Amino acid sequence: MNYNNDFKYDLQLGQVKEKELGAIFQDAKIEVKYDLQALTTGNVFVEYESRNKPSGISTTQADYYCFVFGDTWHLIKTTLLKERCREYLNTNRDKKGGDMNTSKGILLPINKLF
In 3-state terms the chain splits into helix, strand, coil percentages (rounded to 5) of 40, 35, 30
Would residue 50 count as lying in a domain?
yes
Would residue 3 count as lying in a domain?
no
Would residue 24 count as lying in a domain?
no
Would residue 48 count as lying in a domain?
yes
Classify 51 as helix, strand or coil.
Answer: coil
pLDDT band at residue 2, thresholds of 50, 70 and 90? low
Q: How far apart are CA 20 and CA 23, in angstroms?
A: 5
Would residue 23 count as lying in a domain?
no
For residue 34, what are the domain limits?
29-113
Would residue 19 count as lying in a domain?
no
Q: What is the mean pLDDT of residues 4-24?
A: 77
- If one counts the domains in the chain, the total is 1
Would residue 108 count as lying in a domain?
yes
The pLDDT tens digits of the residues spanning 63-86 come to: 999 999 888 899 999 999 999 999
Residue 110 Cα to chain centre, angstroms: 9
pLDDT of 92 > 60? The answer is yes
* pLDDT number for residue 5: 63
